[in-house]
Structure 1
Amino acid sequence: MRLWVLVALLVFVTQGLGAAAAAAAPPPQVVAGAAILMEADTGQVLYAKNPDARMYPASTTKILTALIALERCDLDEEVRVPPGFTGIDGSAVYLREGEVFTVRDLLYALLVHSANDAAVVLAEHVAGSVDAFARLMNKKAASTGARHSHFVNPNGLPDENHYTTARDLALIARAAMRQPTFREIVATKSYVLPEREDPKALRHLWNTNKLLWRYEGANGIKTGYTTQAQQCLVASARREGRELIAVVLGSVGNNVWTDATALLDYGFDGFTRSQIVGANRSVASVKVAYGARDVALVTASPFVWSFPTGEPSPAVRWDVRLPRPVTAPVQKGQELGSLVLYSGARRLGAVPLLAADDVPRALWASWWFWTGVGGCGLLLVRYRNYRRRRRYLFRR
């Protein structure tokens, strides 16, 4: 479909980014083989190291497992550990055949304690088998924009066909953090499972994410480790209404914590947020084919962007783009196009543009108007012919 570009409307200096005396903060040096730092709300990437390199995710896989379970199950739904279940290698809560838990309890075991056995029981409950669940995982990952990953199990245990990238994992985590229950679980420091048949069975769970205790504003998300993957961490923190997601893959030992801390500090301290355009701002007026009048276009939401603190204020321009000519009737709030924003040659993003008011079809554009005009014209012709015939008869 041809894209109609109306006009580049404006070039302006973003507000609140005045030249700072201090120089922009240098990017952090991280040990991890791959890493990324992303704004949770906009998806803006603030830092990247090998963001598209294929990496093993280890237990950070469980972010995707939990997201699918939350979308497909009720939290109070009961799950029975299937017959013949013998446990899973690695971190576990040692589920036993016949035990019954709610989906909620299994999610806490999965995300707080990183239980591999809970991952498998949830997968089989949701999809009937691990293979079927893996197909759901790949489909869901792709829907978040994570198109360079492939998953074969719900817990991240080693498999050469089970891989992701730092960028993909950030996108998956960003989608998961939109789920209120997921957010609540990954921010939980400890959880107690209900009474179990074996009084000695594990019930008290402690979150494996040390940043929840160590980093101001930390609110998630998931740790991971295998010999092949090394230390992995998807971390998030929220300060003054701003949330960042840091992904660290293939780090070594305790460097996983310093890597994540350095990334989050860099994001919070090294960038300044600016609202480039507000919500419901009128940016253009366009012709409406067959309409009674033009229609004003207003932004559906604000657009914010993070710029390096200490650098000169950047110029931002925008274009109004319509996928097709606007045709009446138009309803107030109808999405008609987008406002695309640029800094230099770099595309920052886009905001939907909505109709500010209703625009009905013009009177002359209605079929009944022309039918009426035609009918009146026909009556006029017939009347004139009638008068002519009358005059002719009187003359005789």
Structure 2
Amino acid sequence: MRKRVRDICAFILFIFLVALCDPCKTKALTVNNKVLIKTISNSLNVDARSAIALDSKSQVVLYEKNAYELVPMASTTKIMTTLVALKYGDLEKQIEISSKSAGIRGSTVGYKKEEKIKLKELLFGLMLRSGNDAAIAIAEGISGSVEEFAKLMNEYASEIGVINTHFQSPHGLDSDEHYTTAYDLAVVTAKAQENKLFNEIVSAKDIDGKAYGFTRSYHNINKILWEVPEADGVKTGYTGKAGKCLVSSAKVQGSNVIVVVLNCTPRWKETKKIYDYVGKNYEFKKMFSKGDNAGEVSLDKGTLTLQCAEDIIIPTKHGVEYTVKVLKPEKINHTINKGDKVGTLCILADDQKIYSNYLEAANTLKIKKFPKFFFFGR
């Protein structure tokens, strides 16, 4: 109890000091006009063309190597294919396998031409067996063609802030106009993990077709589910240009960490190395709880109290100084209702911004607007 009181007092004191400070400054990297958070420096050497470890919830980068470089992505493409299918598709829809789907090269489930498969089953075939035939069927079943489905993929990528990625197909076979970055793939995966069914699919090791009402059973080819404790997905990939790729997810100290390795021949070994590094070098701390007081905004019409909108758990590193800054609005000229987004809380590591999120109003503040009167003289 005393520790809690001490922490709250320290936070209130800091809020007072923050009021005198300039807005958050950051040494963040900019790619195509988008501000990205750079990783805290580290000495880990990973045998991959590009790699990243990202805390899914806070979006803090825990490790990166060439994470913003444009590279091929192979079948890790199918993460976005699944995400778009879950957004726009009808899971119970029966989709007929076309000749194009049945004849696609590369990894396949083995669906036959004119066979009818529900979209939900196709998603399991897509993610567990990495079926290119499933990818084509999903695209045709939702959009009518691969080309139209790729447009949906690109539109949705832009919608969620993924700007250095371009999709030309739902399967990821080599193409000069089909590329991504390790960072973008991690962000797409974090978004996908907000969907319960996505998590159910990618975490499944084996699916009994009869139990699910499917046409066949499915075994997951993603070995990371067996090799990393508390791993729960996500997707493998391989092509000649992309090399061996892996997007994975696992719990570290109770927090979900996404690791991406691209063009990485020893992908299982290097992924485990990154998870081991994160577990040994970071401590995931709850900085604030949902509803914690984050300061006040004093106005002529009253006082608006700001509070944390959610629990804030941040991966912290020994020897790094962490500070908090709160950005509050200088003026409010309209009514604010309880729960409205007002202000921003930033967390900095050695003066480098690693996290920011909105604050919310803890109370309602009504601002009355009076009509303007115009007087006309003779």
1:40/1:244 contact within 8 Å kept: yes
Report the AA paired with residue 251 of structure 1. C
| TM-score, with length taken from structure 1 | 0.78
1:25/1:270 contact within 8 Å kept: no
Report the AA paired with residue 276 of structure 2. D
Secondary structure in 2 aligned to 1:150?
coil
Report the AA paired with residue 278 of structure 2. G
1:14-33 → structure 2 map (5 Å cutoff) = 27-33=43-49
Report what 2:150 is aligned to: 134
Report what 2:310 is aligned to: 301
Report what 2:97 is aligned to: 81
Return closer, same or farther for 1:101/1:366 CA change in 2, 3 Å cut-off.
Answer: same
Report what 2:245 is aligned to: 232
Name structure 2 gaps, 5 residues minimum: 1-14, 22-39, 372-378
The answer as to 2:78 corresponding to 1:62 is: yes
Report what 2:261 is aligned to: 248
1:10/1:318 contact within 8 Å kept: no
CA displacement, residues 76-113 of structure 1 (integer Å, 9 cap, x when unaligned): 22111236654210111222221111111100100000
State the 1:361 CA deviation: 4.8
State the 1:162 CA deviation: 1.0
State the 1:240 CA deviation: 4.2
C-alpha distance in structure 2 between counterparts of 1:224 and 1:315, whole Å: 37
Report what 2:321 is aligned to: 314
The answer as to 2:291 corresponding to 1:280 is: yes
1:151/1:163 contact within 8 Å kept: yes
1:37/1:247 contact within 8 Å kept: yes
C-alpha distance in structure 1 between counterparts of 2:226 and 2:62, whole Å: 24
Report the AA paired with residue 271 of structure 2. A
C-alpha distance in structure 2 between counterparts of 1:332 and 1:85, whole Å: 52
The answer as to 2:269 corresponding to 1:258 is: yes
Select 1:190's aligned residue among 198, 206, 220.
Answer: 206
C-alpha distance in structure 2 between counterparts of 1:227 and 1:114, whole Å: 16
Select 1:207's aligned residue among 220, 230, 233.
Answer: 220
Report what 1:270 is aligned to: 281
State the 1:192 CA deviation: 4.1
Return closer, same or farther for 1:140/1:328 CA change in 2, 3 Å cut-off.
Answer: closer
Select 2:337's aligned residue among 331, 342, 358.
Answer: 331
Report what 2:87 is aligned to: 71
2:101/2:133 contact within 8 Å kept: no
Between 87-96 and 269-278, report the one with greater CA deviation.
269-278
State the 1:58 CA deviation: 0.7
The answer as to 2:173 corresponding to 1:162 is: no
Secondary structure in 1 aligned to 2:59?
coil
C-alpha distance in structure 1 between counterparts of 2:240 and 2:111, whole Å: 24
Secondary structure in 2 aligned to 1:358?
coil
Return closer, same or farther for 1:7/1:354 CA change in 2, 3 Å cut-off.
Answer: farther
State the 1:351 CA deviation: 3.0
Report the AA paired with residue 203 of structure 1. R
Q: Equivalent pairs: percent with the same residue?
A: 31
1:345-360 → structure 2 map (5 Å cutoff) = 345-360=351-366
C-alpha distance in structure 2 between counterparts of 1:84 and 1:27, whole Å: 47
The answer as to 2:225 corresponding to 1:218 is: no
Q: CA RMSD in A?
A: 2.7
State the 1:217 CA deviation: 0.3
C-alpha distance in structure 1 between counterparts of 2:90 and 2:267, whole Å: 34
1:302/1:351 contact within 8 Å kept: no
| TM-score, with length taken from structure 2 | 0.82
C-alpha distance in structure 1 between counterparts of 2:220 and 2:126, whole Å: 10
Report the AA paired with residue 147 of structure 1. I
C-alpha distance in structure 2 between counterparts of 1:227 and 1:274, whole Å: 41
Return closer, same or farther for 1:85/1:279 CA change in 2, 3 Å cut-off.
Answer: closer
Report the AA paired with residue 235 of structure 1. S
C-alpha distance in structure 2 between counterparts of 1:351 and 1:258, whole Å: 34
C-alpha distance in structure 2 between counterparts of 1:328 and 1:159, whole Å: 51
Report the AA paired with residue 323 of structure 2. V
CA displacement, residues 267-291 of structure 1 (integer Å, 9 cap, x when unaligned): 12210112223321222222234x2
C-alpha distance in structure 2 between counterparts of 1:274 and 1:336, whole Å: 24
Report what 2:60 is aligned to: 44
C-alpha distance in structure 2 between counterparts of 1:160 and 1:366, whole Å: 59
State the 1:122 CA deviation: 0.3
Report what 1:180 is aligned to: 196
1:146/1:167 contact within 8 Å kept: no
Tell me which structure has the larger Cα radius of gyration.
Answer: 1
Name structure 1 gaps, 5 residues minimum: 12-23, 196-201, 368-396
C-alpha distance in structure 1 between counterparts of 2:52 and 2:233, whole Å: 16
State the 1:145 CA deviation: 2.4
1:108/1:185 contact within 8 Å kept: yes
1:105/1:193 contact within 8 Å kept: no
Report the AA paired with residue 98 of structure 2. P
C-alpha distance in structure 2 between counterparts of 1:217 and 1:85, whole Å: 35
State the 1:47 CA deviation: 0.4
State the 1:54 CA deviation: 1.5
